[in-house]
């Protein structure tokens, strides 16, 4: 028989490619035991059954190969919401919660119409709906797998969000919104970080954009005014070195009140602007 303490020690020595081997080992063992991490610290001498050891060994072997913990668990928490995740889309990042916070502090209608572009797991749309039940929230993604996953998460959380398949605005016809929000692909194809960490197991289509990472940001900024009500907001997440150019693109397109916001690492991560006219081009 093998104790909790021994399992954790052995696991940490096998997870060499993680920045958080202790945390990974604890989270995965807690999952196998269906217990909290505090349980592991309280009962380190407790022994595992052979079945539990085998299940844990399989998870640690996968993590040692670099597979994300979220994929191994099938779940990631975002905005205190438990979201199912899989390889069809991005794993929600904590810094994207700054995008949600920014949207929630905007001065918009009590029953605002909101669109989340490239919704992935549905994280942003579902977080907004959970905080503003009176908002009419829609979400789209070009990937069928992501649409299915977002719908599943909406159903599990009993949050009413309209989710459809669309390549950005392509299937939205003449709809108008008070808020359009997106965390689009914004990484350049030659970025060395694409060969590191969890992103190796996420779809490149959700990470990489042409024009050194600016192509999708430019598309959204250019087209958004055609779908915004007068006084409506566009809020985008982008790379930490892209804020200045994003502000320029917003201003060039005719947005007002353009500014950037910082993430939890104090890096420019969000840019927003207001559309103050009914005229579109």
Residue that is last in its domain, among 15, 31, 66:
66
Lowest mean pLDDT among 78-92, 121-135, 139-153, 192-206: 192-206
Task: Tell me the CATH number at 49.
Answer: 1.10.8.10
pLDDT of 182 > 80? The answer is yes
Do residue 60 and residue 80 come from a single domain?
no
Question: Per the structure, how many domains does the chain have?
Answer: 2
205: in domain: yes
48: in domain: yes
Report how far residue 140's alpha carbon sits from residue 166's, in angstroms, rounded to the nearest whole number. Answer: 6
pLDDT of 279 > 60? The answer is no
Do residue 32 and residue 86 come from a single domain?
no
Q: What is the DSSP string of 23-83?
A: HHHHHHHHHHHT--HHHHHH-TTPEEPHHHHHHHHHHHHHHHTT--HHHHHTEEEETTEEE
Residue that is last in its domain, among 66, 90, 118:
66
Residue that is last in its domain, among 49, 66, 83:
66
Do residue 33 and residue 103 come from a single domain?
no
Output b/e per residue, 52-89; b: 16+ Cβ within 10 A.
Answer: bbebbbebbeebbeebbbbbbeeebebbebebbbbebb
Output b/e per residue, 27-47; b: 16+ Cβ within 10 A.
Answer: bbbbbbbeeeeebbeeeeeee
Task: Tell me the CATH number at 262.
Answer: 3.40.50.150
281: in domain: no
Structure-token pair, residue 227: 């779908």
Give the bridge partners for 78, in sequence order: 81
Do residue 62 and residue 155 come from a single domain?
no
For the entire predicted model, the pTM comes to 0.84
pLDDT of 274 > 60? The answer is yes
Do residue 158 and residue 185 come from a single domain?
yes
Do residue 165 and residue 250 come from a single domain?
yes
φ, ψ for residue 102 (rounded to 5)? -60, -45
Domain that holds residue 113: 75-275
* Model confidence pLDDT, tens digit, residues 249-259: 999 999 999 99
Do residue 219 and residue 187 come from a single domain?
yes
Do residue 102 and residue 83 come from a single domain?
yes
Do residue 129 and residue 204 come from a single domain?
yes
121: in domain: yes
Strands (E) in the chain, as ranges, are 2-3, 47-48, 75-78, 81-84, 113-117, 136-141, 162-165, 177-182, 228-237, 256-262, 268-275
Question: What does each C-alpha distance from 18 to 21, 140, 180 come to in angstroms?
Answer: 6, 33, 35
Q: Which positions ≥6 away from 276 have C-beta within 8 Å?
A: 230, 231, 256
Residue that wins the pLDDT comparison between 16 and 258: 258
Secondary structure percentages of the chain, helix, strand, coil, to 5 = 45, 20, 35
Contact 90, 207 (CB under 8 A): yes
Lowest mean pLDDT among 46-50, 75-79, 92-96, 207-211: 207-211
Do residue 158 and residue 113 come from a single domain?
yes
280: in domain: no
Do residue 131 and residue 88 come from a single domain?
yes
What is the model's pLDDT at position 210? 54
Do residue 55 and residue 79 come from a single domain?
no
Question: What does each C-alpha distance from 24 to 41, 77, 92, 111 come to in angstroms?
Answer: 15, 15, 17, 41
Residue 211 pLDDT grade (very low, low, confident, very high; cuts 50, 70, 90): low
């Amino acid at each position: 028989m093998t104790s909790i303490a021994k399992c954790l020690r052995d696991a940490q020595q096998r997870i060499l490619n993680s920045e958080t081997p202790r945390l990974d080992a604890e989270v995965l063992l807690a999952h196998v035991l269906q217990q909290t991490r505090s349980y592991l610290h309280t009962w380190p001498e407790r022994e595992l059954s052979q079945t539990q050891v085998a299940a844990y060994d399989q998870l640690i072997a996968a993590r040692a190969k670099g597979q994300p913990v979220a994929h191994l668990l099938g779940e990631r928490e975002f905005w205190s919401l438990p979201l199912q995740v899989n390889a069809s889309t991005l794993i929600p990042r904590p810094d994207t919660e700054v995008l949600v916070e920014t949207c929630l502090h905007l001065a918009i209608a009590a029953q605002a119409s909101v669109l989340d572009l490239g919704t992935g797991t549905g994280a942003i749309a579902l977080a907004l709906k959970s905080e503003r039940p009176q908002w009419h929230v829609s979400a789209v993604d070009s990937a069928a797998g992501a649409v299915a996953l977002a719908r599943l998460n909406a159903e599990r959380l009993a949050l009413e969000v309209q989710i459809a398949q669309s390549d950005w605005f392509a299937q939205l016809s003449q709809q108008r919104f008070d808020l359009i929000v997106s965390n689009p692909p914004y990484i350049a194809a030659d970025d060395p970080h694409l060969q590191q960490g969890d992103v190796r197991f996420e779809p490149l289509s959700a990470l990489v954009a042409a024009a050194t990472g600016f192509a999708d940001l430019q598309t959204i900024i250019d087209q958004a005014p055609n779908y915004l009500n007068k006084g409506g907001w566009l809020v985008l997440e982008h790379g930490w070195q892209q804020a200045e150019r994003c502000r320029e693109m917003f201003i060039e397109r005719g947005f007002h009140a353009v500014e950037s916001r910082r993430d939890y690492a104090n890096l420019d991560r969000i840019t927003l602007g207001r559309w103050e006219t009914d005229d579109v081009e």
